[in-house]
């Protein structure tokens, strides 16, 4: 995982196609097959599937914080971001 994070940082830090190709070549030469497969997946725009549905996150947040639904919804509307609302 650290190697992929380093690759991603290298790719993000340059606009040079040659530097990007060199960084990817170095990574894929050293990476285990399974890690390389995940790297291809993520670099080509793949996203991990959501493990916990949004509805469950909302319900748990309201339950654990003892918030009425209207207050949670008002907070969400004010903030506009579910992750930030959940962190409140």
**pLDDT tens-digit profile of 29-81?**
999 999 999 999 999 999 988 899 999 999 999 999 999 999 999 999 999 99
Burial tier of 43 (Cβ tally within 10 Å: 0-12, 13-18, 19+): middle
49 within domain boundaries: no
Task: Centre a 10 Å sphere on the Cβ of residue 1 and count the other Cβ atoms it contains.
Answer: 7
20 within domain boundaries: yes
Does one domain contain both 6 and 39?
A: yes
Q: What is the pTM of this model?
A: 0.61
28 within domain boundaries: yes
Angstrom distance (rounded) from CA 34 to CA 2: 14
Structure-block tokens of residue 33: 């097959």
pLDDT at 22 over 90: yes
29 within domain boundaries: yes
Does one domain contain both 18 and 37?
A: yes
Q: For residue 4, what are the domain limits?
A: 1-44
62 within domain boundaries: yes
């Amino acid at each position: 995982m650290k190697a992929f994070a380093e690759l991603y940082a290298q790719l993000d830090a340059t606009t040079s196609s040659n530097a990007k190709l060199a960084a990817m070549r170095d990574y894929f030469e050293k990476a285990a097959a399974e890690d390389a497969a995940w790297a291809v997946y993520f670099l080509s725009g793949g996203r991990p599937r959501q493990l916990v549905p949004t509805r469950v996150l909302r319900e748990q947040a309201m339950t654990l914080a003892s918030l009425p639904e209207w207050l949670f919804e008002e907070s969400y509307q004010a903030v506009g971001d579910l992750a930030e609302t959940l962190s409140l």
